[in-house]
A = this chain, B = another copy of it.
Amino acid sequence: MRRLTNLELLLLALLHTQPSSGYSLRKSFATTPLGHYSDSPGSIYPALERLRCRGLLRPLQEKLATRRRRQLFSITAKGLVELRSWLKRPITREEVQHDIQGLMLRYVVCAQLSGNASARTLVLQLGTRLQETVLELESYLRGPGKALPVAGRLAVEQGLEGYRALARWTARAGKELKRSSS
């Protein structure tokens, strides 16, 4: 079965904090800068439908005070299992290179669902993967990367710089989370 997209995981995480309607979920996205998650109906409603089909969320019947329809959804036990298994999945270098945004989302959700201690474990693991990625790129630049055209080399170096900055951030976040979880 297909892996959940970051959007779907974010929807589940938000539904975990409280049952919500598609409309209110959309509104939260308009201000959330944790990567770009569209607030367009064309992405949210189909995503909610996919999650419902997989049994990860369930519509709540609401006694409607007004005639304006409004569908609240709540996460199911199965949805929660899915969410927790995502949080526990080991971080891969592949993810570091291709889905930093997803990892950041995971960190935020982890802190909220499992607490600061778990978030700290995650963030330290991310730091380790980042260091590995940095070493890999450095050794690449010293070796085969020398043959790269100028543009390619600059691109690699810029990527490297980004990973270093993120690695420093994980170190600081790790320390702060230690204080607040002990």
Residues of chain B within 8 A of A163, CB atoms compared? 33
> B108 near A155 (CB under 8 angstroms)?
yes
Q: Bound complex: CA of A130 vs CA of B32, how far in Å? A: 16
> A34 near B109 (CB under 8 angstroms)?
no
Q: Give the interface segment out of A10-18, A51-59, A73-81.
A: A10-18
A72 near B: Cβ within 8 Å? no
> A161 near B169 (CB under 8 angstroms)?
yes
A90 near B: Cβ within 8 Å? no
- Which of A137, A148, A162, A169 gathers the greatest number of chain B CB atoms within 10 Å? A162
Min distance, Cβ A177 to any Cβ of chain B, angstroms: 12
Secondary structure dominating the interface of A: helix
Residues of chain B within 8 A of A152, CB atoms compared? 14, 28, 31-32
Q: Bound complex: CA of A30 vs CA of B162, how far in Å? A: 18
Contacts A109-B151, A112-B151 supplied; 12 other A-B pairs, CB < 8 Å: A31-B140, A33-B133, A33-B163, A34-B155, A34-B156, A35-B159, A36-B98, A105-B155, A108-B158, A111-B154, A161-B169, A165-B169
Q: Which residues of A contact B (CB under 8 A)?
A: 13-14, 16-18, 28, 31-36, 97-99, 104-105, 107-109, 111-112, 133, 137, 140, 145, 148-152, 154-156, 158-163, 165-166, 168-169
